[in-house]
Chains A and B, each alone.
Chain A
C-alpha cells in the first residue's frame, strides 16, 4: 500500500473531525449564553440546534453572494487584485443592438455596429432585422437556456403527469413499473450526457434507426451535434427522458392521495372522464404540480452536465451555467462571470416569483378554503 495515498485523505479527514467538534462547541456556547440571558431552555436549545445551518448560511451563502455582487463590479483575473470598474461588466453585457436588414442576402455583420455579433436574425420578405450584441456568446447561451426552459418545463410536466396517470390505472405490478420508470433519475448525469452524445452522433443509434425514414423521404441525415439549428431540439429531446423519474413519482403519490369519494360524487353528478380530470384530479393535484413546476424551472435554468459533455457547434450558444463556468475558470474573467451569474440569479428569482404569483389562481390547498 502506497502511503502517499493517505496524505490526500488524512488531512481532510482530520479537518472534517475538527470542524464537527468546533460546531458542537459553538452550539453548546450558543445554548449556554442564551440561558445566561434568561431565555427559556426550549428556545435556547432550538436556536442552538439550527446553528450549523445559520453559520453555513452566513459563510457559504450570504458572504459569497455579497462577494459575488462585489466582484461583478470589478475586473479580476486571479493574478492582480480586483480592480473596481463600476458598471462596466453590466454595460458590456447589455451592449446590444438591433438593425434593419436592407435585403435578405445582406450579411448581419454589415448591418450591425462594429464588434457586435448576430444573436437572432429574422428575415421578412426581402428585408427583416437582426439583433446583435458585443457579448454575443452570452446572449446566444441566454437564448438557448431560455428556449430550453420555456419548452421543456411545461412539456416535461405534462409528460410526467401522463406517466403518473398511466401508473395510477389499475395495472399489475405497479411497483415494478414505478421502479423501472424512476431509473433515468438514478443514473449519473455525466454518464447519461455522454451516452446521449454517443447515441446522437452522426453514426449513432438514433440516426441508424431513423435511416429508413430518412431514405424513404429522401432527406439528409440530421447532424444533431454539429448543426446549430438542431442544438435546442437535441437538448429538448434529451430532457424529455426526465419525464420518467422524480416528477412522475411525486405526481403519482399525489394522485394516490386524492380521496375516492370525490370521484364518486363526480360519478353521481354524471361527470365524464374529462370532467373528473379537469374538476377533481387537476385541482387536487395542483400542490404537487406546483412543487414540480418550481423545482423543474429552477433545474432547467441551471443545466450543467449536458453542456459539459455535449459541446455545441459555434453559433448555437450553450447553457448559461456552463457559459459562466467557462468565463470564470477557463478565461479567468471572475468579474464578468460574476455579473453573468447575477443576471442568471435575477432571472431565476423573477421567474420563480412569477410562478408563485400565479399560484393563488390555480393551486388549490385543501383546508385553505375554510380560512378565507
Chain B
C-alpha cells in the first residue's frame, strides 16, 4: 500500500505527529469496520433472537437480543401449526421437497454449463462468438416476460404442480452467468494439454472426462455452491408452478404461513424460526465453502 509505506518510512524517522495520524487513521478504519459489521449482524441476530421468543416477549418496548426465557420449542411448534391446517406439511416433507428441487437443478446447471462452456471455449467454429454474445444478451430478459408463456406451456403439458418446471430445464444451461464463469476458466487452461491428448488419440469425450473435468474442479465447486444457494432460495419459480401445500419448498412454506396462520395477528416468532431454518443450510455451506463462494463471484467480476 503506497500510503502505508509512506507512513512507515516516516515512522522510522521518528516523527510523532505522523505516527499519531497513523493511529487516528487506524482507529477510524476499525471504527467503520465495526459499524458495518453491526449493520450486517443486527438484523441477522434479531431474526434468530425473535425465533426464540414467546408471543408476549415480541411487543415489549425494550430491545432484548437475548430472550428470557429462551424458547427453542418454536422450531417444532411452527411445524405442528402448519401440519394442523394443512396435513402433510411436515418438516421432513418440506425439507425433502426443497432438497429435491435444489439438488436436481444444481446438477443440471453444473453439468450443462460445463459442457456448453467447453464448446464455447476450447473449439473453433464459425458463429461461436456471435452465439456467445447472444447468450450474454439473454441476461437482460426479465424472467417475468418468459414466465407467462412458460406457465402456459407447462399447463399444456399437464405438468403444473409438479417439480418438472423447476428441475429438468436446468439441463439446458439456463444460467448464462455460470456458462460465462466456466468459459473464463476454460480459457485459462493452456492449449498444449489438449494437443498432447489429441496426439495420443483421445476423443473429445475422453478429453473432457479425463483432462478437463479434473482441471475445472475448483470452478465447478464454486458454481455448485452458488447454484445451491440460488435454487434453495428460489421463490418466483415455485410460486408460479406449485399449488399443493405439501409439495412446497421452504420458501413457499414461509409464504403459506404468512398468508394463513399469520394473517390476522403476525406470529413473528414462528415466521422467524422458519426463516432461520431456511437460512441455516445455506449459511452452513457458505461458512464451509466461503473460498469457493467468493472466488466464483470474482471470476465474473474482475474479467467482466
Contact = CB atoms under 8 A, between A and B. Distances in A.
B250 to A, nearest CB: 8
Interface in A40-75: 41-50, 52-57, 59-61, 63-65, 67-68, 71
Contact of B144 (A67, A190, A302): A302
B217 interface: no
Contact of B2 (A44, A171, A266): A266
Contacts of B30: 171
Contacts of A15: 164, 168
B266 interface: yes
B304 A201 contact: no
A161 B245 CA distance: 43
A61 B39 contact: no
Contacts of B232: 188
A192 B43 contact: yes
Interface string B35-60: 01101110110110010000000110
Contact of A49 (B119, B168, B250, B251): B119
A288 B276 CA distance: 33
Contacts of A251: 301
Interface stretch (A90-98, A111-119, A147-155, A177-185): A177-185
Contact of A67 (B149, B155, B179, B235): B149
Contacts of B278: 188, 190-191
B6 A181 contact: no
Interface stretch (B13-21, B66-74, B131-139): B131-139
Given A187-B279, A190-B278, A308-B239, A61 B141 contact: yes
A362 interface: no
A261 B115 CA distance: 40
A309 B255 CA distance: 8
A241 B39 contact: yes
A298 B140 contact: yes
B292 interface: no
State which size class the interface on A falls in: 35 or more
A195 B151 CA distance: 30
B172 interface: yes
Interface in A3-30: 5, 8-9, 11-13, 15-16, 19-20, 23
Interface residues of B, number: 107
Nearest to B204: A45
Given A67-B149, A68-B148, A183-B44, A53 B283 contact: no
A123 interface: no
Given A52-B116, A60-B174, A190-B235, A249 B4 contact: no
Contacts of A338: 145, 148-149
Contact of B271 (A11, A170, A194, A253): A194
Nearest to B290: A179
Contacts of A196: 43
Contact of A47 (B43, B119, B143, B174): B119
A238 B117 CA distance: 36
B173 A52 contact: yes
A174 to B, nearest CB: 10
B283 A187 contact: yes
A214 interface: no
Contact of B131 (A50, A55, A61): A50
A23 B173 CA distance: 12
Contact of B164 (A12, A23, A266): A12
Most buried by A among B104, B179, B272, B302: B302
Contact of A186 (B155, B162, B286): B286
Given A67-B149, A344-B142, 14 more contacts: A5-B96, A11-B162, A12-B167, A13-B104, A46-B119, A53-B179, A57-B135, A183-B286, A188-B233, A203-B58, A267-B6, A273-B3, A287-B304, A292-B301
Q: Which 8 A-B pairs have the closest CB atoms?
A: A56-B172, A49-B119, A46-B123, A250-B301, A67-B149, A191-B275, A263-B2, A43-B125
Interface of B: 1-4, 6, 29-30, 32-33, 36-37, 39-41, 43-44, 46-47, 50, 58-59, 61-63, 93, 96, 100, 104, 108, 112, 115-116, 118-120, 122-126, 128, 131, 134-135, 138-153, 155, 162-164, 167-169, 171-174, 179, 204, 229, 232-233, 235-236, 239-240, 247, 250-251, 254-255, 258, 266, 268, 271-272, 275-276, 278-279, 282-283, 286-287, 290, 293-294, 297-298, 300-302, 304
